[in-house]
Every structure is written in C-alpha cells, then in structure tokens.
Amino acid sequence: MEQLHIEYLEVGDGYVKGRMPVNERTKQPMGILHGGANLALAETIGGLGSALIVDLDKFDVRGSQISANHVGTAHAGWVFAEAHILHKGKNTHVWNIDIRDEDGKLVSTCRLTNFVIRKK
C-alpha cells in the first residue's frame, strides 16, 4: 500500500473508496497504468472493506480470488477505486471494485473474493 501510495478516501456501509497515483511506481514500460497495480488497488480497498465488517479479534481476512477486466488506460494523475460488497457471508465476502480515471472513465472493473477465517 505504501509502495504504491494507495490512499483511503471514504468508508461507508458496504463500500470503500480509495485512490492511487499513476506514476513511475504504477506504470508499465509503455507508459500506461499497469494492470497489476489496478489489482493491488482493488484488493487493498476490498480487503479493508472486509476487515471493517468482521471482528478482527476473532477473524482474519484473506484474499481468495481476484479477477479484472482492464477496459481503459490511464497515463497520469490519479485513479479512483470504489468497492461495493455484493455478498456478505459467514465465510466469504465478494466485492465489486470499479477503477476510474480523473475524468470518470472506467479503467478496470474487478471482482474480489475474501475468506473470513476464524482465528485459533
């Protein structure tokens, strides 16, 4: 999170918003935002969302699966991610995370599944 300069912006009931700069740390060699950086942003804010829902004294949250469709590009500035929970189960949480550029254009849409694991 610190390496990519990911920041949390807003947390609410069933959603989390964050942002990440498009810079030398997050671009691929062709000068556009790296798809892997998008995945790191998505998993970071979706993970926080799950962590805020469970009792962290009793449970751990771990990413189980993430997928993305990269449908646009970003070259500079910031990208903004908004995660919304789709499924809040006893053992799993499923999040949809959309990542947009500063103009609101969709860059990536991601789906994240988190395991909710009871601590021993």
CATH of the domain at 75: 3.10.129.10
- The band of 2, judged by pLDDT with boundaries at 50, 70 and 90, is confident
Residues 20-48: tens digit of each pLDDT: 999 999 999 999 999 999 999 999 999 99
CA dist., res. 81 & res. 70, Å (int):
13
- Please report which residue ranges of 22-82 form alpha helices under DSSP H: 35-53
What is the total count of domains within the chain?
1
In a domain, 43, yes or no: yes
Among the listed residues 10, 43, 82, 102, the single catalytic one is 43
In a domain, 93, yes or no: yes
CA dist., res. 118 & res. 100, Å (int):
34
Residue 63 domain boundaries: 7-118
In this structure, what are the phi and psi dihedrals at residue 56, rounded to the nearest 5 degrees? -70, -10
Summary mean pLDDT of the chain: 97
**Residue 24 known to be catalytic:** no
| Confidence (pTM) | 0.95
